[in-house]
A and B are shown apart, each in its own frame.
Chain A
Amino acid sequence: MTTDHLAAFRSLAADLRSAFAQWRPGEPRDEGRFRDRALRCFRLQYRGIGAYRRYCDRRGGTPESVGDWRDVPPVPTAAFRSVPLLVGDDPGAAEVEFRTSGTSRGASERGRHPVLDSGLYRASLEPPFRHFVLPDPGGPGDGPEEHRVRILSLLPPVEEAPDSSLCWMADAVMERFGSDGSATVARGRAALARAGSDPGGALDWEAARARVEEARRASEPLVVLATTLAVAEWTEHLAAGGRRLELPSGSRLMDTGGAKGREGLGRSDVLEAVEERLGLPPRSVINEFGMTELLSQRYAPSAGPGAGWLEGPPWLRTRALDPVTLEEVPEGEVGLLCHHDLANAGSVSVVLTEDRGRVRDGRVQHLGRSAGSPPRGCSLATAELLDARDGAGE
């Protein structure tokens, strides 16, 4: 049975890889194609993941009853902390397993996302990265050599954080798009601040300065990949020394993760500091939104008409739902974000998050994690207390 499911997955993944590669930004969305592929993903996941099948059965959501991709039962992100969700139910079949940072919930609460085919992840992340992040993308069908640029990564190399989907992505784009002058100046997990962990002192600012100066001497733009917290740390480091490090003209900065855990650090503070210390205007700063539970990403410009609205490839659809009824809220209204990612073909494609946001014309305004239920009186939140008392997770 498992072999059948895996064979079905391979066939679907091949189709998806080819579809992702053929995407032409700006082309109209093909609703029929998305629907067919989404339902194909659902059939595969329903049959191939026992826990998901039982979950769907309890809701009456089966391949026979679901005719619209919007009716596929969504899986709450918390489920990724319970069981490995992958087609075939054989964790040994995963090529790589990504883990959430779990920093806000304790180490034992880390979610895991097993990936059956890392090639599919690569296929889903490269075209949107090229379109939304790289300066002056070339025309369609260019070979791998055409788009190489200098990339400076402030994220640790993937071998030092092998379960980080973000590091994996940075590694993939450096391999695919990075020219010889590319480098990473971060070392160790501590440098990974995607979800609020302490960036620590694992970022080598001297090496970063040398790379920037090299790029300037070569008159080549630089693409910087970093968590938002690392960017803030960099600009603070420069400010503390009263220094400025102008990035070459045409450079880009992709930041991700937001200012989690840093009270009072607003988006405009980050952009202002980047302009002042790195000479990069907000229009050259692109905010990336990704989740361990999703293999596709969204990107938002930091200036101009679409500022703050995340766009993604057509194989990632996002809806804002009423958390009580799970009905879609009217366009532009705030709801709980639910993503439908075809790149997740090997796990579960429909993921219900704890994030609030708006959706308009297919773009998403991310409003951060739901504040959580308001404090309920003198009722105790035991988790923090138990953790504080014995340092143990659940």
Chain B
Amino acid sequence: MTGASDASGPHPETHGDDLPVRPWHLPGLETPSEPEAAGGDAGRGSPWHRAETAGGASFRVPALDGERMASVAAAVRNASRAARRERDLDAVIEAVSRAATRLADPDSPWGRSAEALLRAELGWPAAPARETLRRMADGWTAGTLGDLVEAELGDPGLLDGYGPAPARDGSPRMRRAAGPPLLLQVQAGNVPGVGVTGVIRGLLVRSGLLVRPSRSEPGLAALFARSLADLAPELGRSVAVCWWPSEGEPAWRSAARRAGKVVVYGGDDAVRRIRARVPGDTELVPYGPRLGVAVMLPDASVRRAARRLAEDVCAYEQRGCVSPRVLLTPRTLRDPAARALEKALSTWVKENETAPLSPDEAADLRQLRGRAEFAGEGEARLVSDPGELRWTVLAGGEPSLRSRALPRVVRVHGVAGIGEVRRLLATLEGRVQALAYAGREGLRELADAAAVTGVSRLCPVGSAAWPPADWRHDGRHQLLPLLRWTDWELPGGEGRDG
């Protein structure tokens, strides 16, 4: 995977901040002159914004006002148009795949930069950073991306030109699909690497992209864009990545006004704030927060299921929308399952490197666990060792999907049967991203419950964290929501153009 250009890798840079590579990629914009000192250079009117990741790393990005955003948007649109002329979809997939997968290659300077970047941004040790990139890259291969396009469009050629569509009333028709010339993508501080997947989706539909990454992980999408620019300059120039502050009104307005569609990953508040800035007739595609749930069926092997569930829980530090946070079991299995899960999590944590807890996470865990230790009648109690914060199993209490996203915390509830599972899923209808099951007894009934309550994925326990690339994220297609269609009603029986 390491081509000639890999040898150079991303240019080493000095920033006066904590990230090993610059967390922006802004075609069409000259980088402002370097500030003289690391601090005190990012006040009002400064050409730089300074911010801090959730992991405590400070970083600096060029400040985008309305005018600068407009220049970037124009550059991206133009480059995207040129790239469409220059490359067909297969060539895009080839370039995108190479640019992305080398971020997960520890032998490539790009891969080493990506790993160092994640470690700096998130405060993670090397192992989970590398593992996350490796797992993510499974979805970035040319084969996987080609399959995704085919699975969703049937005919990938529809992204390069017109293809035949079913005739209507005897009149032949053609049809073609394209993403908008400019797509604004607002990313969430989620599993690292998901931002790159988002950019790839935009490139597959042949859009130019303005990407506002999360402040928690601002750099990987920018590094991908530069990796792409290194391999395919026009394509690389059709992506701009740069964080800007929530209150940066002129930048938001400028970007939103120019975008054909807006994709937002984030919570209800974030979606509402952005929707208010987007023109009324511009389509906004929200990907809201979700959670994972696990179900042990009556015939499940408790210990084996617990071991697999521990893997699902621990993957990506339990940050994913698919990460299970609640385990539902038959009532008689609740306590054995909780004990088995406690043991499995403790084994996993002892055998794997984990990210250090942040002070805020530790403070929250202290309260959560303290409450459970003093549990009253009918409340969840703490199963885990009180002296160990790295994983937490709570058991009991009124069955509920109520849970908070904290590192490696699972609530175990005993339920009366699938009927009760269905009732609980309905309380978060449309918000359960993955339902991981163990056992087979009642599986069909569980699958029906999942379908009627809007669960987007039902999978064996142990695979929840690794959805297949063509999985319908949030219960819908990945590419189709980004597309616009043109139907061409032909005068006579003509075939595919070109």
B290 touching A378 by the CB < 8 A rule? yes
How would residues 325 to 357 of chain B score, 1 for a CB under 8 Å from any chain A CB and 0 otherwise?
Answer: 100000000000000000000000000000011
B402 touching A386 by the CB < 8 A rule? yes
Judge whether A198 is part of the interface by a CB distance below 8 angstroms: no
B265 touching A378 by the CB < 8 A rule? yes
Q: Among the listed B189, B359, B403, which residue makes an inter-chain contact with A377, where contact means beta carbons less than 8 Å apart?
A: B189
A373 touching B370 by the CB < 8 A rule? no
Chain A contacts for B288, CB-based, 8 A: 378, 380
| Chain A, residue nearest B426 (CB) | A389
Chain B contacts for A58, CB-based, 8 A: 373, 386
Q: Among the listed A75, A78, A371, A394, which residue makes an inter-chain contact with B402, where contact means beta carbons less than 8 Å apart?
A: A394
Judge whether B428 is part of the interface by a CB distance below 8 angstroms: yes
Question: Chain B: how many interface residues by the 8 Å CB criterion?
Answer: 61
B360 touching A375 by the CB < 8 A rule? no
A377 touching B428 by the CB < 8 A rule? no
The docked-state distance in angstroms from the alpha carbon of A382 to that of B409 is: 14
| Chain A, residue nearest B427 (CB) | A386
Most buried by B among A85, A324, A356, A371: A324
Judge whether A82 is part of the interface by a CB distance below 8 angstroms: yes
The docked-state distance in angstroms from the alpha carbon of A322 to that of B363 is: 9
The docked-state distance in angstroms from the alpha carbon of A177 to that of B379 is: 44
Chain B contacts for A19, CB-based, 8 A: none
Q: Among the listed A77, A356, A394, which residue makes an inter-chain contact with B398, where contact means beta carbons less than 8 Å apart?
A: A394
How would residues 282 to 294 of chain B score, 1 for a CB under 8 Å from any chain A CB and 0 otherwise?
Answer: 0000011111000
Chain B contacts for A83, CB-based, 8 A: 374-376
Chain B contacts for A375, CB-based, 8 A: 54, 188-189, 216, 267, 405
Judge whether B400 is part of the interface by a CB distance below 8 angstroms: yes
Given contacts A75-B370, A82-B371, A380 and B364 within 8 Å (CB-CB) = no
Q: Among the listed B289, B360, B373, B374, which residue makes an inter-chain contact with A380, where contact means beta carbons less than 8 Å apart?
A: B289
B323 touching A379 by the CB < 8 A rule? yes
Q: Among the listed A51, A356, A381, which residue makes an inter-chain contact with B404, where contact means beta carbons less than 8 Å apart?
A: A381
Min Cβ gap B3→A in Å is: 32
Min Cβ gap A377→B in Å is: 3
Chain A contacts for B433, CB-based, 8 A: 378
Judge whether B197 is part of the interface by a CB distance below 8 angstroms: no
Min Cβ gap B125→A in Å is: 16
Q: Among the listed A77, A322, A373, A377, which residue makes an inter-chain contact with B406, where contact means beta carbons less than 8 Å apart?
A: A373
How would residues 42 to 59 of chain A score, 1 for a CB under 8 Å from any chain B CB and 0 otherwise?
Answer: 000000000110010011
A323 touching B373 by the CB < 8 A rule? no
Judge whether A79 is part of the interface by a CB distance below 8 angstroms: yes
The docked-state distance in angstroms from the alpha carbon of A390 to that of B188 is: 27
Judge whether B33 is part of the interface by a CB distance below 8 angstroms: no
Min Cβ gap A291→B in Å is: 14
The docked-state distance in angstroms from the alpha carbon of A376 to that of B54 is: 10
A370 touching B371 by the CB < 8 A rule? no
Question: Chain A: how many interface residues by the 8 Å CB criterion?
Answer: 40
| Chain B, residue nearest A390 (CB) | B427
B370 touching A385 by the CB < 8 A rule? no
Min Cβ gap A197→B in Å is: 21
A378 touching B188 by the CB < 8 A rule? yes
Chain A contacts for B361, CB-based, 8 A: 373
A380 touching B363 by the CB < 8 A rule? no
Which positions 354-373 of chain A face chain B at CB distance < 8 Å?
A: 354, 356, 370-373
Judge whether B484 is part of the interface by a CB distance below 8 angstroms: no
Min Cβ gap A351→B in Å is: 10
B363 touching A382 by the CB < 8 A rule? no
Q: Among the listed B289, B366, B428, B431, which residue makes an inter-chain contact with A352, where contact means beta carbons less than 8 Å apart?
A: B366
How would residues 78 to 113 of chain A score, 1 for a CB under 8 Å from any chain B CB and 0 otherwise?
Answer: 110111010000000000000000000000000000
Min Cβ gap A104→B in Å is: 13
Min Cβ gap A106→B in Å is: 11
Judge whether B173 is part of the interface by a CB distance below 8 angstroms: no
Judge whether A76 is part of the interface by a CB distance below 8 angstroms: yes
Chain A contacts for B387, CB-based, 8 A: 59
B291 touching A377 by the CB < 8 A rule? no
Chain A contacts for B428, CB-based, 8 A: 380, 382, 385-386
Q: Which residues of A contact B (CB under 8 A)?
A: 51-52, 55, 58-59, 75-79, 81-83, 85, 322-324, 336, 352, 354, 356, 370-383, 385-386, 389-390, 394
**Which 9 A-B pairs rank lowest in CB-CB distance, beginning with the nearest?**
A76-B370, A377-B190, A78-B371, A379-B405, A323-B362, A374-B54, A380-B289, A378-B321, A79-B374
Q: List 23 A-B contacts (CB under 8 A).
A: A82-B372, A323-B359, A336-B359, A370-B360, A370-B364, A373-B358, A373-B361, A373-B364, A373-B404, A374-B216, A376-B319, A377-B191, A377-B316, A378-B190, A379-B319, A379-B320, A379-B323, A380-B290, A380-B321, A381-B405, A383-B402, A386-B428, A390-B427
Given contacts A323-B366, A381-B289, A386-B428, 4 further A-B contacts (CB under 8 A): A377-B320, A378-B266, A379-B190, A380-B289
